[in-house]
Amino acid sequence: MNNKSIAHFYRVDHPHMVGDGFRVKGYLPGPHNLQQQVSPFYLLDYNSPHFFPATDTPRGVGVHPHKGFETVTVVFAGELAHADSTGSSGTIGEDEVQWMTAGAGVLHKEFQTPEFSREGGVQHMLQLWVNLPAKHKHHQPRYQTLTRENIPVVKLDEKGSVVRVIGGDYIGVQGAAETLSPLSLLDIQLVPESTTAVPVPAGWNSLLLQVDGDAVIQEGQESQEGDMAVFGPEDGQITIRTTRHAARFVLMMGEPLNEPIAAYGPFLMNTQQEIVEAIQEFQSGKFGHLD
Ligand code: MN
């Protein structure tokens, strides 16, 4: 199988704060304003490793709404607490994932845990927004906590390289998250002197964010922590090779929704009229209550 072409290869160097707890760089829609080319994914905020000093008051982002999509938060280092207006709450740590379906509309808040805050430490995570097809935009809000124990691990070799299947499937192994459109979200960890190739299902969009180490992708492109590759539409595979160093990637692959995108702040709908309705629903309290 051929290696897919690389349509965009870039890094984002200027962080911004989300609340006071997330120092992120905006990779999607990003500098190329990628939308249909990366559907069903819409937004990707990457918090590269950043040290937060100890504090008595947990940092984060207070109560805010979402509608029409899912937020997927992957923690590499640090600890995150979540609570939402459906009454769901949870805490995740290293190598764990929160998969929240905002669907018809929800209020939530996202904070560093009191324990992490008291000690301080390095935080390293990402948040991905997975758009929902029109038929699921009014899905009942729900929350999936994906712990270290329930994310399947596929061994790539005997040296320690693995793929963790967060959502979708990888060579027939079903991921931990229940998804609402065909997609795969994989955490790929390669030891030094290792090569792996992942075929992308025909017609799917695919993108690769490197979150640690050094590697070469598609046999010629050097890549390191903070680099993002968005692949071309032709059939093919994604090849990653490491030499002296280990490397870790998050691979996002999904069938494009092929529907209009209307985005405004925390809402992701198909039409401007639906955005207006979402704002009205939020303002009139239809998303419930959260202190
Ligand atoms: Mn949020």
Output the pLDDT for position 64: 97
Rounded distance from Cα 263 to ligand 1 centre (Å): 15
Rounded distance from Cα 160 to ligand 1 centre (Å): 34
Rounded distance from Cα 15 to ligand 1 centre (Å): 18
Helix (H) / strand (E) element for 115: namely: helix 114-119
Rounded distance from Cα 183 to ligand 1 centre (Å): 21
235-288 pLDDT per residue, tens: 999 999 999 999 999 999 999 999 999 999 999 999 999 999 999 999 999 999
Rounded distance from Cα 85 to ligand 1 centre (Å): 12
- What are the residue boundaries of the structural domains of the chain, listed by start? 6-283
Rounded distance from Cα 86 to ligand 1 centre (Å): 14
CATH superfamily for domain 6-283: Jelly Rolls (2.60.120.10)
Rounded distance from Cα 159 to ligand 1 centre (Å): 38
Helix (H) / strand (E) element for 63: namely: strand 60-66
Rounded distance from Cα 41 to ligand 1 centre (Å): 15
Q: Provide the CA 182 distance to its chain's centre, in angstroms.
A: 15
Rounded distance from Cα 103 to ligand 1 centre (Å): 13
**What is the phi/psi pair of residue 286, to 5°?**
-70, -15
Residues 67 and 268: beta-carbon distance below 8 Å: yes
- At residue 166 the predicted structure's pLDDT band, cuts being 50, 70 and 90, is very high
Output the pLDDT for position 269: 98
Output the pLDDT for position 100: 97
Rounded distance from Cα 73 to ligand 1 centre (Å): 10
Rounded distance from Cα 210 to ligand 1 centre (Å): 23
d(CA 178, CA 153): 17
18-58 pLDDT per residue, tens: 999 999 999 999 999 999 999 999 999 999 999 999 999 99
d(CA 143, CA 159): 35
How crowded is residue 53: how many other Cβ atoms within 10 Å of its Cβ? Answer: 8
